[in-house]
A = this chain, B = another copy of it.
Amino acid sequence: MRAVIPYKQENAKSRLSPVLSRTEREEFVELMLRDVVCSLREAGVKDIDILATFKYSSLSDLDVNFVIDPADLNESINKYLKKVNQPVLIIMADLPLTRPEKINDIINSEEDVVIVPGKGGGTNILFIKEPAGFSVCYYGMSFRNHCSIAKYLNCSLRIYDSFLLSTDIDEPNDIVEILLHGHGLSFEYVQNKFELESGRARVKLNCLH
């Protein structure tokens, strides 16, 4: 099997702009990606492809393979799936709460397809045992899209229930979860920039500087 991580650093995570500058967001997405790669490595995943529009020289220490494609997310992943001839784990780069044991659990599933839903109808991780016939549709309610596609293809399906893996980091409130449940480089980064403010409702994020 191999893992593929779609990645874009330039002006990434615009919905975090109320709390992080463009430069900070670009630093931060790289650290989240590094945490994801680290979890994959610890889970024993050897072949990791970064799907991007160009090769990031800043990641040359990571020992990953770059698949360069200028097409959009769906098109580039679908081209990738047609070519790759082994089980594929498609994992998003903004999942810094990923843990190796969860990855292990997913890639050792009996089912043909495993979907980890993200908050708000997204698909955070998609494991496909026979990717050649599968096509992805990431925009909109991608969780529902991917369930329907698996069903249409008569694939057995596991919906993987995990708070850690469902937490993609898109909005300032998501950073709260890194402070509470995180580890690694992204945890260190946000710990130096934010603190938690608690009241009777959900915890809030405060900027430190």
Interface residues of A (CB under 8 A from B): 15, 102, 117-122, 139-141, 143-144, 161-166, 170, 173, 176-177, 180-181, 196, 198-203
The reply to whether B162 and A203 contact each other, CB–CB distance below 8 Å, is: no
Q: B120 touching A181 by the CB < 8 A rule?
A: no
Please name the residue on chain B nearest to A176 by beta carbon. Answer: B120
Chain B: CB-nearest residue to A179: B121
Assess whether B120 is in contact with A170, with CB atoms less than 8 Å apart: no
**Apart from A120-B176, A140-B200, A170-B202: 19 A-B pairs, beta carbons within 8 A:** A117-B180, A118-B202, A119-B202, A120-B173, A120-B201, A120-B203, A121-B176, A121-B203, A139-B198, A139-B199, A139-B200, A141-B196, A143-B180, A144-B180, A161-B162, A161-B163, A161-B164, A163-B163, A166-B166
The answer to whether A202 and B122 touch across the interface, beta carbons within 8 angstroms, is yes
Q: Is there an interface contact between A201 and B141, defined as CB atoms closer than 8 Å?
A: no
Copies of chain A in the complex: 2
Give the chain B neighbours of A177 by CB distance below 8 A: 119-120
Distance, CA A198 to CA B139, complexed state (A): 8
Residues of the B chain whose Cβ atoms lie less than 8 Å from the Cβ of A117: 163, 180-181
A196 touches B121 (CB 8 A): yes
Q: Which residue of B lies closest to A199 (CB)?
A: B140
> Nearest Cβ distance between residue A14 and chain B, in whole angstroms?
10
- Closest chain B residue, CB of each to CB of A196: B141
Residue of B nearest to A120 (CB): B202
Complex partner residue of A180 from B141, B162, B170, B202, CB under 8 angstroms: B141
Bound together, the chains give a CA A121 to CA B197 distance in angstroms of 10
Supposing A141-B196, A162-B161, A180-B141 touch, asked if A201 and B170 sit within 8 A by C-beta, the answer is yes
Q: Return the chain B residue nearest A203 by Cβ.
A: B121
Residues in chain B near residue A122, CB distance under 8 A: 202
